[in-house]
Chain A
Amino acid sequence: MQMTQITNSKELLSTALQSRIIPNQEFLLQGSILDSAVDHLIHRLRGLCDTVDASPEQFHDLEVCLSLRQPTQTAPLMLRVRRALDRDSPFQLRYIGQPELDRSRPTLVRSSIDVGCTSTILDFLTELGCRLDFEYVSRGYIFRKGRMKITVSKIKAVPGKQQEIGSETVSQSYLVELSVLAPNGQDSIGDEMRIFAEQLKPLVQLEKIDYKRLGGLP
Chain B
Amino acid sequence: MNITNGVNVSVETTCENQIQEITYDGTEIYQPPPTLSETLTRCAARIDFSKTSLDDLKKEDKSAEDDVKDSSQFQPSLWPWDSVRNKLNDALTEICVLSDVISIAKDKRYLVLDPVPEDPDEIKPIVQVYSRKKALGQAAQVLLSGAERLRNSHSEQRNRNVTDFHIELLRLRQNWRLKKVSNAIIGDLSYRTAGSKYGMSGTFEVTKAEDLTDEEAASGTTGSGNNGLPTQSPKTTSSLRVIVPAELQGVAYIKVITQKDQEDLCTANVNLMGHGPNITQQAGVWQKTLEFAQNVLFCKELFSQLAREAIQLQAPIPHVVIGNQIRATLLPGIQLIISLCHSTTFDSSQPGPINDHDHVLEHSLHQLLREVHHKNSHHPFPHPTSGPLGPSKKRMLAGPKAADRESLLEMTKSQTILEQIIAQAQHIFMRKRTQYVLDTLARDVKDPQIVSHWNAMNSPIMSCVKINIVTHGYDTINRTSLVIHVKERSLKCICRDGRVMHLSYEPQELRDLILCQINSHQISCLLNLARCMAWTVLSNSNNLGIGKVEPLGNASSCLLASPNGDRMIAVQIRCDPQIDVKVYIARSPRPDFIPNPLVPEKFWENLGGHFKEVRFDKIEGKSFLNKMEFLMAALTSNSV
Listed in ascending order, the chain A residues whose CB lies under 8 Å from chain B are 23, 50-52, 54, 57, 59, 61, 63, 80, 82-84, 86-87, 89-92, 94, 114-118, 138, 142, 144, 147, 149, 151, 153, 181
Supply 12 A–B pairs (Cβ within 8 Å), ascending by A.
A23-B388, A59-B384, A63-B386, A86-B383, A89-B396, A92-B382, A92-B387, A114-B386, A114-B387, A116-B399, A142-B381, A144-B381
A181 touches B388 (CB 8 A): yes
The one of B379, B383, B399 that contacts A115, using a Cβ cutoff of 8 Å: B399
5 further interface pairs, Cβ-Cβ under 8 Å (given A59-B381, A142-B381): A50-B195, A61-B383, A90-B401, A114-B388, A118-B401
Among residues of A, the one whose C-beta sits closest to the C-beta of B381 is: A57
Please report the total number of B residues contacting A with Cβ < 8 Å: 19
A89 touches B383 (CB 8 A): yes
A91 touches B400 (CB 8 A): yes
B313 interface residue per 8 A CB criterion: no
B386 touches A147 (CB 8 A): no
B552 interface residue per 8 A CB criterion: no
Bound CA–CA A23/B396 (angstroms) = 15
Bound CA–CA A35/B31 (angstroms) = 87
Known: A89-B396, A115-B399. A82 touches B384 (CB 8 A): yes
The smallest beta-carbon distance between B197 and chain A, in angstroms, is 11
Among residues of B, the one whose C-beta sits closest to the C-beta of A115 is: B399
Interface contact tally, CB-CB below 8 A: 71
The smallest beta-carbon distance between B371 and chain A, in angstroms, is 15
B388 touches A90 (CB 8 A): no
The smallest beta-carbon distance between A114 and chain B, in angstroms, is 6
Among residues of A, the one whose C-beta sits closest to the C-beta of B389 is: A149
A147 touches B389 (CB 8 A): yes
The smallest beta-carbon distance between A52 and chain B, in angstroms, is 7
Among residues of A, the one whose C-beta sits closest to the C-beta of B388 is: A181
A144 touches B383 (CB 8 A): no
A90 touches B397 (CB 8 A): yes
A59 touches B385 (CB 8 A): yes
Bound CA–CA A149/B380 (angstroms) = 12
B193 interface residue per 8 A CB criterion: yes
Complex contacts, A181 vs chain B, CB 8 Å: 388-389
A87 touches B389 (CB 8 A): no
B51 interface residue per 8 A CB criterion: no
B381 touches A80 (CB 8 A): no
A116 touches B396 (CB 8 A): yes
The one of B379, B386, B389 that contacts A82, using a Cβ cutoff of 8 Å: B386
B386 touches A87 (CB 8 A): no
The smallest beta-carbon distance between A108 and chain B, in angstroms, is 16
The one of A23, A54, A86, A92 that contacts B386, using a Cβ cutoff of 8 Å: A92
CB-contacts of B496-545 with A (<8 A): none
The smallest beta-carbon distance between B235 and chain A, in angstroms, is 37
